[in-house]
Structure 1
Amino acid sequence: MSPLGVLDCEDIAWFRADPEMPSAARGAAATLARRIGLEGYRASEVALAVTEAATNLQRHATDGALLLRVLRTPDRAGVEFVTVDTGPGMADVDAALADGTSTAGTLGIGLGAVARLADVFDIHSVPGRGTVIAAQFWAREAVAEMVGKPSVASGLTRPISGETTCGDAWAVRVDPGPDHDPRSGPAPSTASAEPTILVMLCDGLGHGPMAALAGEAAVKAFRRSTARHPEGLLRDIHTALRGTRGGAVAVARIEPSAQRLLYCGIGNVSGVLLGPESRNSLLSAPGIVGQQMRSMRTFELPLKPGGALVMHSDGLTERWKADDVPGLLRHTPAVMAGQLLREAGVRRDDAGIVVVKGAW
C-alpha cells in the first residue's frame, strides 16, 4: 500500500433493495471473497455481514442500494460493501451499534456485529435524510497494514436507471518522486520529496456501453501516463479518447507538503474544495476531451486542514450543501461519497463521484 493510503477499486455490482436482494448479495459476496483468496471462514463472515446489511436495507430503508466491490493494493485484495439509502435515518447511531440491537426481520446479528466483523467500518446517518455504511474485509494477515494506513481516497459510480454499465469512471494514483518533466506543465512544488496524489474523474459522453468505453480509456491513460501535472495528464487522456465518444474530464494534483491543490478540467465535471467552514468551486473549461480541447487552465488553491476534495459528474447536481449533512467531514471518503451521491445523485444519468480526504 502506498505511503498515502491509496487503493484501487473494481466496481462489481449494485444491488437495489427488493425481496431477492439479500440472497443475491450474499451469493455474490461469498463468491467474490473466495475469488480474491479469502479463506473459507473469512469468506463466510463477509457473506454474513453483507446479508445482514442487505436485509436491513430491504426491510427498513427507503430507496436502498448496496454496492459490492474489490479493493486492491499491489499485493493485497479485499472486499468492500457500501450501502446507501434515503431514509428514515437513525437518531442514535451508537444505540443501533450496541450489542443485542437488531431490527426485526434481519439475521439478528445487528449492526454492531457487522462492525466487528469488518476490518474497517464507518457509518453516517442523518435523520429524515438517510444512512450510508461502508465496510472493508481483508485477509487476517493484512489487517494491521490496512487498518493502520486507511485509504485517503474513494469514489462511487452508478449507472443510469435501467442499465448496468456506467460511463463515469475515476482513478487515483500516487506520484512518488520529485523529478519533473518540463513538457508536463508547471513544475510541482519542490518543498519536499513527499509523495503527492493525482486524481481523475471522467464522464463519458452519453451513457451505456459506448460511454463506458470512454471512461475505461480515460482510466487506462491516466494510470499509464508519465505526466505529473494536470495539463499533461489531460493531454494524454485526450489522445487516448480519440476514436471514442469522448467525455468531460478533470484532473487534480494534491501536494500535502506544499499545502496546495492544482486542478484542471474540461467539460461538465464539478470540483469542490471543501473545508470545515468553506466551499471553493473549481472551474473547468468548455470542450470534450477526445474531440475538442482548445484551451486548458490550471487553478491553484491552498489546502486547508480538515478539508476534502470532491469531484463529481453532472449525474449529481451542484446544489448539495455540506450543512445539510452534519458531520460529513468527520467520515471516511467512501461514506462521504455515498452521502453526497444520496444527497445529489439523479437517476436520469450516470453518476460518478470521488472524494480525497485525510492526505493533508
Structure 2
Amino acid sequence: MGAVSALGVPTVEELGWLTVDDAAAAGIARRVAVDCAHRLGFSEQRAGEVAIVAAELASNLHRHADAGALSVRCLRRGDVGGIELIAVDAGPGMADLLLSSRDGTSTAGTLGIGLGAVGRLSDSATGYSQPGRGTVFTAQLWPETTVPQTRARVAGLSRPIIGERVCGDRYAARAAADGSLLVLVADGLGHGSLAAAAAAAVVDAFLASSLEAPAGIVEHVHRAVSHTRGAAASVARLGGGSVHFAGLGNVAGTIAFPDGDRRGMVSMPGIVGHQSRAVREFSYELPAEGVVVLHSDGVSDRWSLRDYPGLARREPLLVAATLLRDAGVRRDDACVAVARGGEPA
C-alpha cells in the first residue's frame, strides 16, 4: 500500500495485483477498475473508458508478454479521485515503445489499437521497455473534472508475497515546510494482515507528524506503534542538493546514478515499535542526476541503473515498477519507493 501527501501528488490506495496468465484476466481487470471508478464517482461514460483501458492493458499482456501482471490503484487529489493502472511484464520488450503505441502497429497480426486507445483515453500514459527484458506501462484516468497533471518527484509500488492478498510493506511521502520531500518505507514484520497493520500504523504516524528531521520522525514512529508487531522503517529527506536519512532495521536506502554508481545510506539495527538503539541521522550529497531509492528486504540489492539505459531520467513510478519486477523476491512482501531532488514538492 502507499500514501502520499506531498503537494500535487495523489494519495494512493493499492487494490492489488492481477496475474495475467489467460484471456479471462482482461475481464477481471475490467471489473476491478470499473468498481473503483464507480466508488470514486466517475460518470458511466468515463467508467466505460476506464474499462477499455484496463481490458486493453490486460489483453496486451496476455497476447504479447511473459509473466504479465497488472496493478490497479485508486488515487486522490483532494476531493477528486482517479485510477492508475500499472502493467508489468518480463518480455519480449519493444525497441521503440512510442512507435508500438501508435494505432495500427502490431507484432501479433492484430489491429494494433490497444496501446493507442490507452493513450487516447488516459489523462497520462507512459512506459519503459527493453528488448528481451520486458515492459512497464502506466496510465492514469481522472473524471471529467480537470485535474492538473504534474511531474511527480516521488512514487512507490508494493507487492505481497505469493499467496497473500495484503502486503506488509508500505511507502508514504509528504512535503516539509521548506518544500523538501520526506519519504518513508515501512516493512511490517512477517506477512499477512498483522504485518500490514503494523506498516499502516507506521505510515499513519508518519503522515500525522509535523516533525521533519528523519531521526526525529523514526523516534516518533517507534513510540507510536508499540501496540503492533513492529516494523523496519527508513525515512529520507530530499532538498537543497542533499539527502538526510535515518532508519531502524533492514529497509535499504540508496543514492543511485544513471552510470550504475550507487551509494548506500546507513540504517541502524532495531525494530520500530519494539527494539531501538539511539537513532542516528546521516547526511549525503544528492547531485542533480541522482535518485534516491528506498526498498524493503523483499527487493534484492543486486540492481544497477546501468542495466536500464535512460530509466533514471524517467518518471519515478517507472523506475520503481522496473526494479520491483526485476529485483523483487517472490517469497517475501516487497516495496520500492523512488524520489528525486529537483523543484519543491
TM range (shorter): over 0.9
1:253 and 1:261 in contact (8 A); partners too:
yes
Instruction: Say if 2:242 is the partner of 1:260.
Output: yes
In 2, Cα distance between equivalents of 1:273 and 1:225: 25
2:251 and 2:297 in contact (8 A); partners too:
yes
In 2, Cα distance between equivalents of 1:215 and 1:355: 18
1:241-293 CA deviation, whole Å, 9 max, x = no partner?
A: 212111110011112xx222110011111111123344211111111111111
1:6-47 CA deviation, whole Å, 9 max, x = no partner?
A: 221111121001222100000111111121112221111111
Q: 2:230 is aligned with what amino acid?
A: G
Instruction: Say if 2:126 is the partner of 1:122.
Output: yes
In 2, Cα distance between equivalents of 1:359 and 1:249: 24
Instruction: Say if 2:309 is the partner of 1:335.
Output: no
Long gaps (5+) in structure 2: none
1:144-169 CA deviation, whole Å, 9 max, x = no partner?
A: x1x2x222211111000111111001
The TM-score, its normalising length taken from structure 1, stands at 0.89
Q: How big is the alpha-carbon RMSD for the aligned residues of Structure 1 and Structure 2? A: 1.8
What secondary structure is seen at the aligned counterpart in 2 of 1:142?
coil
2:258 and 2:305 in contact (8 A); partners too:
no
Q: 2:286 is aligned with what amino acid?
A: L
In 2, Cα distance between equivalents of 1:314 and 1:3: 25
- How many pairs does the alignment contain? 338
The TM-score, its normalising length taken from structure 2, stands at 0.93
1:89-143 CA deviation, whole Å, 9 max, x = no partner?
A: 1122122112212454878532122112111111100111111011111123324
In 1, Cα distance between equivalents of 2:101 and 2:283: 42
1:7 and 1:153 in contact (8 A); partners too:
no
In 2, Cα distance between equivalents of 1:131 and 1:268: 29
Match of 2:18 among 6, 15, 20: 15
What secondary structure is seen at the aligned counterpart in 1 of 2:276?
coil
Structure-1 residue corresponding to 2:256: 274
- Higher alpha-carbon deviation: 273-282 or 229-238: 273-282
Instruction: Say if 2:328 is the partner of 1:345.
Output: yes
What secondary structure is seen at the aligned counterpart in 2 of 1:213?
helix
2:162 and 2:330 in contact (8 A); partners too:
yes
1:254 and 1:262 in contact (8 A); partners too:
yes
Instruction: Say if 2:171 is the partner of 1:167.
Output: no
What secondary structure is seen at the aligned counterpart in 2 of 1:151?
coil
Long gaps (5+) in structure 1: 178-193
Q: 1:239 is aligned with what amino acid?
A: R
What secondary structure is seen at the aligned counterpart in 2 of 1:359?
coil
What secondary structure is seen at the aligned counterpart in 1 of 2:139?
strand
Instruction: Say if 2:58 is the partner of 1:36.
Output: no
- Tell me which stretches of 4 or more aligned residues in structure 1 moved more than 6 Å: none
Q: 2:154 is aligned with what amino acid?
A: A
1:222 and 1:237 in contact (8 A); partners too:
yes
2:6 and 2:181 in contact (8 A); partners too:
no
In 1, Cα distance between equivalents of 2:299 and 2:156: 13
**What does 1:121-270 correspond to in 2, within 5 Å?**
121-143=125-147, 145=148, 147=149, 149-175=150-176, 177=177, 194-255=178-239, 258-270=240-252
In 2, Cα distance between equivalents of 1:94 and 1:166: 33
In 1, Cα distance between equivalents of 2:271 and 2:6: 34
- Higher alpha-carbon deviation: 35-44 or 3-12: 3-12
Give aligned-pair identity as a percent: 46
2:102 and 2:116 in contact (8 A); partners too:
yes
Deviation, 1:210, is 1.0
Instruction: Say if 2:77 is the partner of 1:73.
Output: yes
Structure-2 residue corresponding to 1:312: 295
1:191-247 CA deviation, whole Å, 9 max, x = no partner?
A: xxx412111100011111111110110011011112111111111211122121111
